[in-house]
Structure 1
């Protein structure tokens, strides 16, 4: 069972890293670029991104990492081997800070943006707040994905050294 856990931690490390990179590029580049566009164009572009990102590959990486993180919690708890505590912490950080924030904050904001007509006054009012709030919460997702990656790597190191 220990060998299964170490492989799950390795897989979760890769998934957390991929998510951190995705969210990082939104935080440092994509949202700032969208903010430079005229409001209807920015909204239209963000809505297009939100549609395109919903691909099988994205869901495998995003939700697959969540499933692996859940498995890590269960197996690490049951085994209690060196690195198990770090692995559980990594999984919890990813689930709460990356998956949880996405579900509770970013997706509802995306849905509200998609429901607004890009040329409307309502959409223009929504856009300014959307950019600031969505991006701030995306910073949280970036940080928690990165923190999860670091914790998974530390857990892997402890497990490999045991």
Structure 2
């Protein structure tokens, strides 16, 4: 395994961990709050996660996985690029943006849909990690 692949494996694993933590701890914890408190907390989380460390990991992993695709590890690379990066940009980010613009009535729909798609991202990142590790 080359250095680039090792870094991609590590990065996809870290991203899987981030999404896993949201699925099993953060979102269930927010579900126990009132809609107003949960929405306020999630809005703060969404603002704070846009930091240089997270963005470097999230975007850098997409670049690394795109390179992996071109180096023949197509399945592992595409699992991250499509199942994490594209999904985040097409589904989760628009939902986060809508959460900013709407009132507390949107919270229950947001919680259900956002968490479902977050599960998909966690699974895709985990599958990417394993698949890249296996050389696919």
TM-score range, shorter chain: over 0.9
Alignment of 1:124-135 (within 5 A): 124-135=104-115
Residue matched to 2:95: 109
After TM superposition, what 4+ stretches of structure 1 lie above 3 angstroms from structure 2? Answer: none
1:141 matched to 2:121? The reply is yes
Aligned length: 136
Taking structure 2 as the reference length, the TM-score comes to 0.96
Alignment of 1:74-89 (within 5 A): 74=70, 76=71, 84=72, 87-89=73-75
* 3-state SS in 1 of match to 2:64: helix
Distance in 1, matches of 2:130 and 2:112, equals 27
Residue matched to 2:82: 96
The answer on whether the counterparts of 2:35 and 2:105 sit within 8 Å (CA) in structure 1 is: no
Deviation at 1:92, TM superposition (A): 0.5
Unaligned runs of 5+ in 2: none
Residue matched to 1:42: 38
* 3-state SS in 2 of match to 1:54: coil
Tell which structure's C-alpha radius of gyration is larger: 1
Deviation at 1:7, TM superposition (A): 1.5
Q: How large is the Cα RMSD of the aligned pairs?
A: 1.3
Deviation at 1:73, TM superposition (A): 1.7
The answer on whether the counterparts of 2:31 and 2:38 sit within 8 Å (CA) in structure 1 is: yes
Deviation at 1:56, TM superposition (A): 0.4
Unaligned runs of 5+ in 1: 77-83, 117-122, 157-162
* 3-state SS in 2 of match to 1:57: helix
Taking structure 1 as the reference length, the TM-score comes to 0.81
